[in-house]
Structure 1
Amino acid sequence: MSEETGKNGKGIIAFQGARGANSDMACHLVYPEMEVLPCHSFEDTFAAVRNGHAELAMIPIDNSRAGRVADNHHLLPDSGLHIVGEHYQRIRHHLLAPKGATMETIKRVHSHVHAIGQSRNLIREHGFEALVAADTAGAAAEVAEKNSIEDAAIAPPLAAELYNLETLATDVQDTDDNTTRFVIMAREPIDPDPAESTVVTTFVFRVRSVPAALYKALGGFATNGVNITKLESYITDGSFAVAQFYADIEGHPDDRMVRLALEELSFFSKEVKILGVYPASPFRKQVAAQ
């Protein structure tokens, strides 16, 4: 990292995991001009931006096969950061192993729990023992260090180059529609122009404890014609009595219909917190057109 680039975190994008992870690949694809900063945990990734060590953070939030990245739904509201963009990335898993290994010598595969879950057909077909690692690229680094022809990693293609591993099989994921949605976080929010592109508003809310509160809270989106593209609930404490909702909608909070819908939501909610207003990824239109 150069002294000029590292000053105030400018030109640096943070991600959770080791070099070669899918988040690393996403950083290079969206911001090829930026330097990457690998972080041990998601908490460290958020802190890197919050403390000025990085300008942006690339955070996975959902996968089309494995569902939401649960940690981040809990961490986003209190991160002190704002969503300023989104990126959808097709996930490709390769089977990587040290030189000399073959499909016949492999007994164990190492990878992130989601990658293992997304590659069950390969694991079952060959009778591999699946061992969970912190992340896919970290699994590749571990396999490279072990240098055993009995161990392989399920990891992104970039990891083979970084850790000098052989590719025994490509695209071992069970389906071709395996896609992860990332959100891009920054210290300051942005205010995109709805006239230039479709705008997404992301927020979390907790409804009041009254009958039909969720139905009433969301009624304003229906009556005002605001499209909710994602709505998910999750427990915020150990009592199972308090649920928080995460939502994505199409539209800018300053749009009249969106403003009216949010006002109605606020009336029936204990708290509404906007996490970001940002341009929609072109991927949304591609999916809608299919």
Structure 2
Amino acid sequence: MSKRKIIYQGEPGANSHIAVTQMFPDDEPVASETFHEAFAALTEGRADLAMIPIDNTLAGRVADIHHLMPESDVYIVGEHFLRVNHQLLAIPGATLATLKTVASHPHALGQCRKSIRALGLTPITTADTAGAAREIAEAGDPTRAAIATSLAARIYGLNVLRSEFEDAAHNTTRFVVLSATRRDARPEDAPVLTSFIFKVRNVPAALYKALGGFATNGINMVKLESYVDEGFNVAQFYADIVGHPEDRNVKLALEELAFFTSYLRILGTYKASPLRDLWSLSQNGH
């Protein structure tokens, strides 16, 4: 049986690479330079699945993905939570005293903002964490550091000057698994999540009315985010709910939602990650 190709954004050693190996240990991770390239590889059949970060507990949503998802003909078929451990990396011989700059992906820099400030380093934005590690390895400059993974340190021959460099212990990224074909979970696979996007009609209290059915039918909406259209008139929303569209209460809520919306597209119904409850408990101090 041939291995499936799971595409991710970044270079080998990136957090997305680690997420792929955790969820799909028997398949082949495939690096791509940009999110656009990852989506294109998926829709053109050059990859079987894509592993894409969508949210982080410190840095918030990954903006590119929330704009690419509605425009792309892809479906969410799974989720994965990755506890992100950032390492401060430098070439052999460098020390904290020699460092002047630190490079990484904007989200990684944001997740380590306090630690960077404490060391008096100048942050430099790069395309991804592993790419930053590769660049400082190639430069051989003891004044330059990178924020990346321990895997990247091993791949590029760098030393870890400080581990767990992130500002908070709960630093976790949620990834979604994307497919070019719809592969919905079954109602009996519960707990499942259903993700969808919708546009409300341009009428007073449209969002309140559109979401009312979820409250009256006892449905847990775990995520709701908005986008604004080009004319700043009608908002588009992305939502995650707990439940299957074939469940009676979910069906009723979606019917009520459709009545108050001009556009509704279900992005996928998929099994909740077993790590979701563990992550939720850790956020509540249990």
TM-score range with shorter-chain normalisation? Answer: over 0.9
Alignment equivalent of 1:83, drawn from 65, 72, 76: 76
2:246 aligned partner: 254
Q: Contact 2:213/2:256 (CA < 8 Å) preserved in 1? A: yes
* 1:149-160 equivalences in 2 (<5 Å): 149-160=142-153
Q: After TM superposition, give the deviation of residue 242 of structure 1 in Å.
A: 2.7
RMSD: 1.3
Contact in 2 for aligned 1:27/1:58 (Cα 8 Å): yes
Measure the CA separation in 1 of the matches of 2:114 and 2:71: 38
Q: TM-score, normalised by structure 1?
A: 0.94
Structure 1 129/287 Cα, relative in aligned 2: closer, same or farther at 3 Å? closer
2:202 alignment partner in structure 1: 209
176, 179, 182: which one pairs with 1:186?
Answer: 179
1:228 is displaced (CA, Å) by: 0.6
Is 1:244 paired with 2:239?
no
| 1:128 is aligned to 2:121 | yes
User: Offset of 1:124 from its aligned partner?
Assistant: 1.2
CA distance in 2 between partners of 1:241 and 1:157 (Å): 46
Contact 1:74 1:236 in 2 (8 A): no
Q: 1-side partners of 2:128 and 2:280: how far apart?
A: 31
Instruction: After TM superposition, give the deviation of residue 106 of structure 1 in Å.
Output: 0.8
What letter matches 2:39 in structure 1? F
Q: Give the alignment of 1:1-290 within 5 angstroms.
A: 5=2, 11-237=4-230, 239-289=231-281, 290=286
Q: CA deviation at 1:37?
A: 1.1
Q: How many residue pairs get matched?
A: 282
- What is the one-letter code of the residue matched to 1:97? A
Distance 1:240 1:40 in 2: 32
1:105-131, CA deviations, whole angstroms, 9 ceiling, x for partnerless residues? 111111111111111222111111111
* 3-state SS, counterpart of residue 201 of structure 1: strand
> Which amino acid counterpart does residue 179 of structure 2 have in structure 1?
A
Q: CA–CA distance in 1 between the matches of 2:216 and 2:114? A: 45
> Cα offset for 1:192?
1.6
- Report the alpha carbon displacement of residue 85 of structure 1 after superposing the two structures with TM: 0.2
Q: Is the 8 A contact 1:18 1:137 kept in 2?
A: yes
Confirm or deny: 8 A CA contact 2:80 2:273 kept in the other structure. yes
CA, structure 1 residues 252+241, in 2 after alignment: closer, same or farther (shift >3 Å)?
Answer: same
Instruction: Map Cα deviations across residues 28-52 of structure 1 (whole Å, 9 max, x no partner).
Output: 1110111111111111101111111
Aligned letter for 1:19? P
* d(CA) in 2 for partners of 1:187, 1:125: 44
Given that 1:58 and 1:182 are in contact with CA atoms closer than 8 Å, whether structure 2 keeps it comes out as: yes
| TM-score, normalising length: structure 2 | 0.95
Q: Is the 8 A contact 2:201 2:234 kept in 1?
A: no
For the residue of structure 2 that corresponds to 1:195, the secondary structure is: helix
Distance 1:288 1:69, change over 3 A: closer
Q: Indicate the percent of aligned positions where both proteins have the same amino acid.
A: 53
Deviates more, 1:121-130 or 1:271-280: 121-130
State the secondary structure of the residue aligned to 1:85: strand
Report if the CA contact (8 A) 2:184-2:268 is conserved: no
Q: CA deviation at 1:79?
A: 1.5
Cα offset, 1:288, TM superposition? 4.5
Q: Offset at 1:135?
A: 0.8
